[in-house]
Structure 1
Amino acid sequence: MRVLYLFDTTDRAESESVIEMASHGVVPTIVCQPDAPMRGRFEAAGLEVIPVAMRSKADRAAIAALRRLRRERTFDLVHAYYKIALTNYNLAAVGLPRVPVVAYRGIIGNLSYWDPFSWLSFLDPRIERIVCVCEAIRRYFLDKPFLPGTRLFRPERVVTIHKGHRPAWYQQPDARLPADLAIPQGAPVIGCVARMKKRKGIVELIRAFEQIPAEHNAHLVLIGPIEYPAIEQAAAHSPAADRIRITGYRADAPKIAGAFDIATLPSLRREGLPRAIIEAMAQGIPAVVSDSGGNPELVEDGVSGRVTPAGDVDALAAALRELVADPALRGRLGAAAHERIATRLTVERTARETLALYAGVLGQRSGEPAA
């Protein structure tokens, strides 16, 4: 099976899944940005990589390169992992013999019937399958109305396949809290790594943190660019301000996050399958998340962490307070979190499910029953 894989940058989980599929008979041709982080990994695995710079959703040079590739090569299937790659490919393929396209989707929302580029990507009815990283994204597609009383997306067209991971990728043997954060030794640390937007629920997190009794000496660390000024205002005026640290972007964020006692992401809406929580769980750090989007697909409430209703400050405070006060509970939930990533969200499982999807698509195209 000859598959053309279209990337913009490259994500480790996606890339390792492609490498795993190559070990099961797929012959990949990989298109990605020249400086894509995983390009060297692909090449070391013996896979063909064709670097193509894509600077926009309709990059003339990229379109020409993809069109030339399609004319020169024969592919059984195209799998696009990024929207920018998908739109450029769909423009390049105009007038060429049709090859089935599979597209990956990792976020909820940002698709408009009034946006021409949405029709060149996920709204394009010619796309055979849309692979969603979590069930919440699949439900978004299925619930999206089209004309009155109709839906654009049939259930069989949209599928959920979780990304696969290996805990070893995320281990931080030198994890530490840097001295500039001035956190007392032994103080429980609650951490959140994210782009600090309004929908991430950070103001609500600060309000919840204020309810943790001061005698626990818990500290809250917020890592990521601030895109919602109310976050800094809430922290500055908080009665717990002396125990809140806002770092902004940090190049050493993985090392800091590896030293958290509790990871949290209390998103209000539109959450996918957050990598920051996966990385924490892989390191045995229990997570407290909201029930937004794919969070409940990662964290089993009371088993590998805690799940609270999105926007419910009191419920979030209770979950955080429970874990801050009970190191043994943190240990049990953290161990279960590591086990969940190690056994349920594996590269091998992702590759197996993706190969089954390919077989179904190609079977349908040839008139055979879908797998």
Structure 2
Amino acid sequence: MRGRWPVIQLGERGRHGAGPARQAWETAQALAALGLPSLVLTPEELPDHPGGTTVPVKWQALPLRSVVDGRSMRQLARLTRHRHAPLLHAHGPVAHAVALGALLLGGRFQLLVRRSKSFPLPTLARPTFRTRRVRGVVATCQAVREALVGTSGVAAEKVHVVYPGVDLEQLDLRRTRPAAVRLELGISPQARLLVQVGSPDWKGWREVLAALPVIRSAAPDAHLLLVGYPRAEQREWIATLARELGVAEAVRVLPFRDDLPDILAAGELVVDAAWAGTGLSRPLLEAMALARPVVATRCGGTPELVEDGTTGLLVPPRDVATLAAAAARLLHDVETARALAAAARDRVASQFTTAHYAARLATTYRRIEPAACGSPAPPPHPTPPPRAGDT
């Protein structure tokens, strides 16, 4: 197919390793393993990102500086007019806006966009999802789909659930460096380390911090590692709160890190205490793949991944006492924690690998634009993977 790609993967630079550009690369590589080539358009090349496969993909630079980046809109319109691609998959809000602008300027492609948060869409953003120029929306879990359809008014037939996936070969405890992480941070090998990732308030870090004194009353050697705080003043403020709670010596706060699998592996327990907006948490998924015990809240898409009492423990959002009790239970009952962790990795292996993700996404591509995969469209209403706990 000279002068033509089945799919363009479009993603802007993110604030950290899980940004839209990396999602575009990982998606292209996962699809390439199925024999479906993509062209990746991102601000910079990411050829050897950690945690992914090594399948080569085609790449071109596109600035994608902002949602009003007219230069990128014109470049994308010219590119797709001259070398038509049946389908363009936009992985972030800037990519989404630039793709819409390119269509207005005469670009030629069917547009698919991604949504990973279960917050209702902002009022001003709703037309950009409802427009007929957007042929489909990839929701990363059922909770995100329900928010798009039920609250934000996006047509149900446009929204397709495609669960994300991870590379189990890369996310193997034998390939991680937990001891090196603990040594770097000055955390004893004997410390009972809890890890929580994500800096917005709705990620629940305040609740985890508030629970730590209670956890330490049951497990005095419990420590907490908070990851993903880019601003020094925010890290200093959290340290002040920790001092007020009397746990300053047991708390570490880090900015974004590229070695997240190593950090998760260093934890004896991984916590996701989100109380709003969450879809299907990538750090939680990676922790389960690494066979780390997890305590998480019944929020957003988390119950679609974690089955309470089987692959982890679920607690109500913003319930500090129940969160503390669940964490203390797993620190005390090591056998239960190990059983949950092993079942968690099995859960990921059965439904949430990169191969599962690529197969589901290819099915969605065929439904929106059969030419993207060179085969007829599948039936209109596939059965999604079961939620955790479904029978």
Pairwise mapping of residues 255-334 of structure 1 onto structure 2 (< 5 A)?
Answer: 255-334=262-341
How many residues are matched? 361
Picking from 347, 364, 368, the partner of 1:357 is: 364
SS in 1 for 2:132: coil
Deviation at 1:44, TM superposition (A): 6.7
Matched to 1:15, the amino acid is: W
Which residue of the partner structure matches residue 199 of structure 1? 202
Residue identity in the other structure for 2:115 = R
User: In the TM superposition, what is the alpha-carbon distance from 1:109 to its structure 2 partner?
Assistant: 3.1
The residue type equivalent to 1:6 in the other structure is L
User: Which residue in 2 is equivalent to 1:2?
Assistant: 6
Q: C-alpha displacement at 1:137, in angstroms?
A: 0.9
Matched-pair contact (CA < 8 Å) for 1:17–1:348: no
User: Does the alignment pair 1:220 with 2:224?
Assistant: yes
Give the SS at the match of 1:237: helix
**Change in 2 beyond 3 A, CA 1:327/1:102:** same
What is residue 138 of structure 2 aligned with on the other side? Answer: 131
Distance 2:11 2:254 in 1: 31
For 1:112, the aligned partner's letter is P
2:43 corresponds to 1:29: no
Q: State the secondary structure of the residue aligned to 1:93.
A: helix
Matched, 1:66 2:76: yes
Structure 1 position 103 matched with structure 2 position 110: no
TM-score by length of 2: 0.81
Alpha-carbon deviation of 1:302? 0.9
Superimposed CA distance per residue, residues 141-169 of structure 1 (whole angstroms, 9 cap, x where no aligned partner): 01225xxxxxx322221121111211222
Give 1:175's match in structure 2, choosing from 166, 174, 178: 178
Partner of 1:161: 162
Distance in 1 separating the partners of 2:340 and 2:332: 14
Q: Alignment partner for residue 18 of structure 1, among 16, 24, 28?
A: 28
SS in 2 for 1:166: coil
Alpha carbons 2:29, 2:53 under 8 Å: kept: no
Deviations 1:194-230 (CA, angstroms, capped at 9, x unpaired): 22x2212222112222222536222222223165987
Amino acid at match of 2:164: K
Structure 2 spans left out of the alignment, 5+ residues: 14-19, 381-391
Q: For residues 82 and 230 of structure 1, what CA distance do their matches in structure 2 show? A: 30
Residues 151-197 of structure 1 show CA distances to partners (whole Å, capped at 9, x for unaligned) of x32222112111121122234432124346443432311111222x2
CA distance in 2, matches of 1:39, 1:338: 22
Moved more, 38-47 or 85-94: 38-47
Measure, in 2, the Cα distance between the counterparts of 1:362 and 1:201.
Answer: 40
Percent identity for Structure 1 against Structure 2: 26
2:240 counterpart of 1:237:
no
**Structure 1 residue 87: Cα displacement:** 0.9
SS of 2:300's equivalent in the other structure is coil
Q: Partners of 2:257 and 2:168 in 1: how far apart? A: 22
Distance 1:351 1:46 in 2: 16
Is 1:53 aligned to 2:60, yes or no?
no
- Cα deviation, residue 231, structure 1: 3.9
Distance 2:224 2:10 in 1: 39
Change in Cα spacing, 1:220 to 1:46, as seen in structure 2 (3 Å) is closer
Give the direction of change, closer, same or farther, for the CA distance of 1:335–1:293 in structure 2 (3 Å limit). same
- Structure 1 unaligned regions, length at least 5: 146-151
Segment drifting more, 155-164 vs 88-97: 88-97
How far has the Cα of 1:72 moved from its partner? 0.5
**Residues 1:165 and 1:218: Cα distance change in structure 2 (over 3 Å):** same
Provide the alpha-carbon RMSD of the alignment: 3.2
Q: Could you say if the C-alpha distance between residues 327 and 129 of structure 1 is closer, same or farther in structure 2, counting changes exceeding 3 Å? A: same
Partner Cα separation in structure 1 for residue 70 and residue 370 of structure 2: 34
Range 218-227 or range 43-52, more displaced: 43-52
> Does structure 1 retain, via aligned residues, the 8 Å contact 2:202–2:275?
yes
Judged with a 3 Å threshold, the aligned counterparts in structure 2 of structure 1 residues 322 and 53 are, in CA distance, closer, same or farther, namely same
**AA at the equivalent of 2:343:** A
Structure 1 length normalisation: TM-score? 0.85
Alpha-carbon distance, 1:369 to partner: 8.0
